Every structure is written in C-alpha cells, then in structure tokens.
Structure 1
Amino acid sequence: MSTGWFEDRAGFDGCVAVITGGAGGLGSAIAADLAANGVRLAVVDIDAEAVERLRSELAEGGCDAVVHHGDARDPDELNLLFEAAHERWGRLDILVNVVGGTFRTPFAESTPKGWDALLRTNFHHVLHACSLAVPMMKSGGRGGSIVNVTTIEAHRAAPGFAVYSAAKAAVEQFSRTLAVELAPDRIRVNNVAPDFVPTPNLARFGSGDHSMATPVGARVAIPMGRVGHVSDVSNSVVFLASGLSTFITGTTLHPDGGTLASSGWFNWPDTGWANYAPTRFLEGHA
C-alpha cells in the first residue's frame, strides 16, 4: 500500500519521542498528534489524572507508549523516563520539552526562592532532558530533532514576569547554541514560541487577567483576531519533529497570530491600528 506525500516526507516510521509535560494542555495535543503519525511515545507529567487519561487514550489508539507520573524538574524522574524509552525501543529520535509555568509579581517583590522555582520549571529541566537525549540520538546515527516550547515573552518585555521571561529567553539562546554544536550530527534544535493559548494549566498558574480570551480582547491584541488553539502549537511541533524540516535548526516558530510582528500595535474597535490607546479609552483616567 502506497503512502501519501506527508508520510513519505515526514519520516516518522519507527520513530520514538520523549515528551516532558506531555499529558495535559499543550503537551497532550502534541502527544496525540505525534501518536497519530505513528510515533512511539515516552511521556512524563506531574498531573496524575492527566497521566491516566493520556495513558488510556494512547492505548485505545494503539500507540506504543510509556507514560510516567512524575516531576520532569527532577533529574531522577527524567533518568527513569529515558531509561524506559531505551529499554523498550533502543532509540530516540525526538525530544519535546513542554514543561513550564509562571506567576505574576513585580521583580522588586520577588524572592530567591521564587526565582529558583521559575528557573527549575522553565529552564533547568530543559538542560537535563537535552543532556540525556543527545547521547541517545548520537548513538543512533540517524540524527534527531529537539523542540523546546517557549513563549512570546522570551522575545519581548513582560512586566510582572521578569524571571519567567528571562528563563524562556535562556532556553531560546541555549537552543540556538546547541543547534550549532549538534548540526554535524544532524540533530536539530528549534523552539516553538506561542502567544496566548487558553489551557487548564494557564488558569492554574494564575497568569492574571484573561480578557484577551474575549472576542474584543483578542481582536485588539492579536492581529488575526483570535486566541491560539492547542493544535496551532502541536502543528508547529510536528513540523519541526518531522523530515519536512530537516534543513531547519537553531530557529523559532511563532504560532502567535501575528502578535510578535505587531510589537505593540493594537487593532482598537472603531479606530483601527495604533500603538497608543485612543483618547476615549483614557477618559476618566487622566
């Protein structure tokens, strides 16, 4: 039976992927889309309920998978996951780092304990996961793809999220440098930096005012006039994980509806594009 154009070029046949934070929100969408393309999965997630749900869904779909309940920020948990993948399949082709989170506070009111928590959640686990993935990918001799999920806040100022945005920017720069180091081994390293994508975890981390999720808020802040969908992010990850992107490394995809490109320009109702608030919005606030 012949395969289609995408299957021929994607090159997913026999591939194995590790996903950190792959059971809920963005992670579950990424896991589902990779599984739909025949990729075998090793997943770790801290949400026990989401882990059970993903395990059941993957089994029902006939996906060969290992799904662990654990904290990806713990190097020992990551070791267990990578060992399980190696023992089961003896190869690794794809790594997707999804784990992240934040809380809002002015930097002057933050503490070293808070800084450490943000760095562990958004940066340190990426280093650990990559340090485990790279030797496995090199030993296979087939190359590989590492995809780190970051955020638009790695590319612009983020008042109230200074350490979080710094950690995500660190992931971006780490990925660029690692991409160059690993290019001779045909191991690619890229990022996906979405803007606002409503997920249960986003609400859990308390990111503040979600007025952007309203039709008017989305129209003002996002050029395409809507918030992101989890599939917008998973589509980008599948592309970067696949053979369709074999000559792309050290770069970032921005599934953000044009937010980064607009860089402070807003589509105000009845006014149109401006990089300042129309006078009527300021009345009573002078």
Structure 2
Amino acid sequence: MGWFEERGRLDGTVAVITGGAGGLGSAIAADLAANGVRLAVIDIDAEAADALRGSLGEAIVHHGDARDPDALAALFTAAGDRWGRLDTLVNVVGGTFKAPFADTAPKGWDALLRANLLHVLHACSLAIPRMRAGGRGGSIVNLTTIEAHRAAPGYAVYAAAKAAVEHFARTLAVELAPDGIRVNNVAPDYVPTPNLTRLARDNDPLATPAAARIAIPMGRVGRVADVSNCVVFLASELSAFVTGTTLHPDGGASASAGWFNWPDTGWANHAPAHLLDHLIPAATRDDEP
C-alpha cells in the first residue's frame, strides 16, 4: 500500500455523485473509482450515463434528473441496498444561461435555482442520515464556481445560487462537525467542458492561449483533472480536518480580482493606454466626464 492509499483511505468507500457522467462529473467519477471508491451516479444525459456504466463496471449508474427528489432518493436507496454505507456525496449538477437580469422572468429564476441550489439541499438531506447511521463521518463536496465569489454580469441568478451553495456549505459544516461529516466546496474558473463550450459558442473569451495568459495568472485555462484532484482530496482522509471551506482550482483568477497580465506592459487592473487608443478614439475619451 502506498503513501496516498494509506493516508487517503478511500478504498472500499461509497460515493454518490449527482451529474457524474459527463464533463467534470465523469472525471471525478473516474478518479474516485481509480482509488477504489464504489460509485452511485445519476445523470440526465442518457448517452453519457450508458458510457459511464460501461466503463466502471460495478458502479450504479441511473439515467435521471438530479433535480427530481424521487430520482435522487432512488439512487441513494440503490447504493444503500447494495453496499450498506455512504461515505461521500459529490454534487456536480449545475447549469446556466446568459441574459441581463432585467430580461429574465420567474420561470427562468426557478430553473436556475433548481439546477444550482435546490438539488444540493435534497441530496444533502438524503446523505446526512445515512452518514450519521454509519458512524464513520463522511464528506460532502459541492461543485460551485468562481462566479459565487465575484460579480457575473449576465448571470446574476446563477451567481446568487452558487453563492447560496457556498454559504449553505459553511453553515452545514458547522452543524455536522460533531458527527465527523465534513462539507466543502470546489470553485473552479473556466474549464472547457462540452457544456461550457456550447454555452460560450463562438464568443469564448478564453479560446486562445494569449487570452488565457492575460486573464489567468497561471496562464492557461483549467483542466478537468485540476477539479477532480481537489474532489479526491476532499473525499479522502487527507482532508480529515478540513471543513466549511472552498478550494479554488482557478489558476489564481480569484486572487487576481481584476488584475490582468497585459503583453508588454505587465500587470494592471485597467487596459493599457495603447489598447484604449485602439478601442476608443482619444477625442471620445476627452469628451467623457
């Protein structure tokens, strides 16, 4: 047994993953499985669920909607019936669309809250009694986003929902700490998964390496492994004394907070003069108050 296996103690544990068959979820599922974790997964994408089922063998993979409390309950029941324990819950499901808040309506708000907040509450309510009954503690990990920590024009309700998950996790972590159940978040920045690429379409702000070098201090966009590595750590006993916190696999984007590494001029929290001259005629700027 190696150092990580001995200290991480993941082998033989059981994890439920919501949205675990595509994008970030499939990477998380694969990395947990590689460390001996037995998985129960639900995903709304039937094709991705079938592919995951074929690749993981022993795993329980349900095609269903994690926003449906009955579908979630069925997954938890199936995991309990097969393995009789629950050690980890990973909430991956999320989604958004871009629109100014003033152009949205209650139907859209409800969809965003269901996709990004309410299913987390349902999943946690199902996980907590099962983890308590096991008497071994447990780990709950929520996938949020850098947009939970900064303004996100065009994504106001989405950002609010993710921020709610962040604060829910902090409060829940305190409530569950006496039971040895840890609750943490992972908040990536831009990780080009198929869904995120579709959302960005042809207007991907970080599509070129040059753009990434300007916007992200470490000079590249995220990779799915950057996120799944954090989840494996939080699921494992290596993080046994970590709760109520958030890991930021974002290349330093949240730390830079509006500072950009401009070519030739270096770090600044504003566009360099030569770029302003190109974008905004000097006469126009002189007329501004």
Deviation at 1:51, TM superposition (A): 0.5
5 Å-filtered alignment, 1:164-203, equals: 164-203=158-197
2:215 is equivalent to residue 221 of structure 1? yes
Contact 1:45 1:68 in 2 (8 A): yes
Gaps of 5+ in 1: none
1:229-281 alpha-carbon deviations (Å, 9 max, x no partner): 00000000000000000000000000000000000000011111000001222
Contact preservation (8 Å) 1:101, 1:205: no
Q: 1:70 to 1:205 in 2, by over 3 A?
A: farther
Whether 1:50 aligns to 2:44 is: no
- 1:213 is displaced (CA, Å) by 2.8
Residue in 1 that maps onto 2:287 = none
One-letter identity of the residue aligned with 2:196: L
Query: TM-score of the superposition, structure 1-length normalised?
Result: 0.96
Query: In structure 2, how many angstroms separate the alpha carbons of the residues matched to 1:208 and 1:143?
Result: 45
Contact persistence 1:104–1:206 (CA under 8 A): no
Question: What's the CA shift for 1:13?
Answer: 2.6
CA distance in 2, matches of 1:168, 1:18: 20
Q: Percent identity?
A: 75
| Counterpart code for 1:151 | T
- Does 272-281 or 165-174 show the bigger shift? 272-281
Select 1:109's aligned residue among 103, 114, 139. 103
SS of 1:41 mapped into structure 2: strand
101-110 or 207-216, which moves further after superposition? Answer: 207-216
Mapping for residues 1-286 of structure 1, pairs under 5 Å: 3-59=1-57, 64-206=58-200, 209-283=203-277, 284-285=279-280, 286=284
Matched residue SS, 1:211: coil
**AA of the residue aligned to 1:195:** D
SS at match of 1:213: coil
Instruction: State whether residues 17 and 41 of structure 1, in contact with CA within 8 Å, keep that contact through their aligned partners in structure 2.
Output: yes
For the aligned residue pairs, the C-alpha RMSD in angstroms reads 1.0
CA distance in 2: counterparts of 1:74 and 1:250, whole angstroms: 26
CA distance in 2, matches of 1:18, 1:97: 8
User: Aligned to 2:10, what secondary structure does the other structure show?
Assistant: coil
Shift of 1:203: 2.5
Counterpart secondary structure, 2:206: helix
SS at match of 2:213: helix
Q: 1:98-117: per-residue Cα shift (whole Å, max 9, x none)?
A: 00011111111111111000
Corresponding letter in the other structure for 2:171: T
The count of residues paired between Structure 1 and Structure 2 equals: 280
* Structure 1 residues 233 and 32: alpha-carbon distance in aligned structure 2, compared to 1, 3 A threshold: same
Output the CA distance in 2 between the equivalents of 1:154 and 1:190: 14
Paired residues of 1:23 and 1:51 also in contact (CA < 8 A): yes
Contact 1:223 1:257 in 2 (8 A): yes
Q: CA deviation at 1:201?
A: 1.2
Contact 1:21 1:45 in 2 (8 A): yes
2:26 maps to a residue whose letter is S
Q: Could you tell me how far apart the structure 1 residues matched to 2:102 and 2:201 are?
A: 18
- TM-score, normalised by the number of residues in structure 2: 0.95
Counterpart CA distance in 2 for 1:86 and 1:205 is: 36
Q: Post-superposition shift, 1:209?
A: 2.6
Q: CA deviation at 1:207?
A: 7.3
1:6 shift after superposition: 0.4
Please identify the structure whose Cα radius of gyration is greater.
2
